[in-house]
Amino acid sequence: MRCPFCQHDNDRVLDTRASEDGFSVRRRRCCNNCRRRFTTYERVEEIGIRVIKKDLVREPLNREKIRAGIETACWKRPPSRERIDSVVEGIVAEIHGQFEDEVTSKQVGEIVMKHLAPLDEVAFVRFASVYHEFDNLNDFVKVLSLRQRPSDVGP
C-alpha cells in the first residue's frame, strides 16, 4: 500500500476490523518511512451489474452516484454519514441480490426510495420529486398519499 503522505510503498498494519456491513475490512496502517498513520478499506470486488438508463445506454452500477443522490436529498437533514453509508450498502446489496446482469434505472430509483423513506421522510420527498420529475403540487400530493398508511390517517 502506498502512503498517501510520502508516497512510500512500505507500511505495516496496526489494526484490522471487519465492517458492520460484513462486505469490507478496515485497516489502520503506519508508514515505515514517515511514521504517519492512515486508514484503508478493502471491499469484495462486486460482479459488474449494468444499469440500463432511460435512453437505453448501459453503464456500470455506481455506488458513488447512489451515495451522491442520497446525500443531496439529505442535505441539511439529520441522517449522519454513517447512516447514509449503511443505506447505500443496503441498496447495493439488494440490487446484487435481486439482479444478475442488468437493472433499469427505474428499478434502482424504486429501491433507493424504499430505503430512503425510513431514513428521512423529507429526504424521501426530495429524492422522489427529482426521480419522478414532479411538475406541480398534485404530483407531490400523490406520492405523499402513497406514503401514508391507514394508521397515519386521523379520524
Does the pLDDT at position 142 exceed 90?
Answer: no
- Output phi, psi for 79, to 5 deg: -55, 130
Predicted structure pTM score = 0.64
Those residues whose C-beta lies under 8 Å from the C-beta of residue 17, and which sit 6 or more positions away, are 25, 26, 27
Those residues whose C-beta lies under 8 Å from the C-beta of residue 140, and which sit 6 or more positions away, are 125, 129, 134
Does the pLDDT at position 75 exceed 70?
Answer: yes
Give 64's pLDDT tier (boundaries 50, 70, 90).
Answer: very high
As a whole number, the mean pLDDT across the chain is 87
Average pLDDT score over residue span 94-101: 92
Q: 10 near 33, Cβ under 8 Å?
A: yes
Does the pLDDT at position 153 exceed 70?
Answer: no
Average pLDDT score over residue span 2-14: 95
Average pLDDT score over residue span 124-152: 74
Would you state the pLDDT for residue 133? 79
Does the pLDDT at position 102 exceed 50?
Answer: yes
Average pLDDT score over residue span 145-150: 58
Would you state the pLDDT for residue 148? 58
More confident residue, 149 or 107: 107
Q: What percent of the chain has pLDDT over 90?
A: 65
Q: 9 near 2, Cβ under 8 Å?
A: yes
Would you state the pLDDT for residue 131? 83
Does the pLDDT at position 7 exceed 80?
Answer: yes
